[in-house]
Amino acid sequence: MRDLYQRLNLAPNASPRAIRRALSHCNNQSLKQDVETTLLVPANRRCYDAHRDELAALGRLRAELGLTHAAHWQGETAHDFTPRPPRHTGRRGQLEARLNRALHYAAGRRHHLLILIAAMLLSAAVTALVTHWLMS
């Protein structure tokens, strides 16, 4: 999903006039249509703004868990809320870092309880796999 403010180089508190001015310089018809129906309709903009931070948090979580193809989407419309995952030296370190970040993101949010549980189950599974791998 694309971040409409980012695509138009606008601040989230931009006025409707500033949005229209940015749209006049935009050549992407699909983006123009999305902005017109989302940011220029007050009720839709309130809804979009309310969920924008959640989309960004979920995008970061997906990147940390490796559930994204963001590295292949650079420059496309699909990666605005999904940054590149960080690079780690070893596979074990990479898995530990992903789980720690997942727990960090999920711990502060009540509605992400399922993500926390999934991360804990994934942690147990990874620990079992690493232990099995080290024993063999």
pLDDT tens digit string along 31-69?
899 899 999 999 999 988 888 888 777 777 776 776 655
- Encoding tokens for residue 94? 């990479």
Q: In whole angstroms, give the CA distance from residue 100 to residue 103.
A: 5
Q: Which residue has the tokens 């409707």?
A: 16
Banded model confidence at residue 112, pLDDT cuts 50, 70, 90: low
Amino acid at 57: A
pLDDT tens digit string along 68-106?
554 544 555 555 555 555 555 567 777 777 777 776 665
Q: In whole angstroms, give the CA distance from residue 119 to residue 107.
A: 11
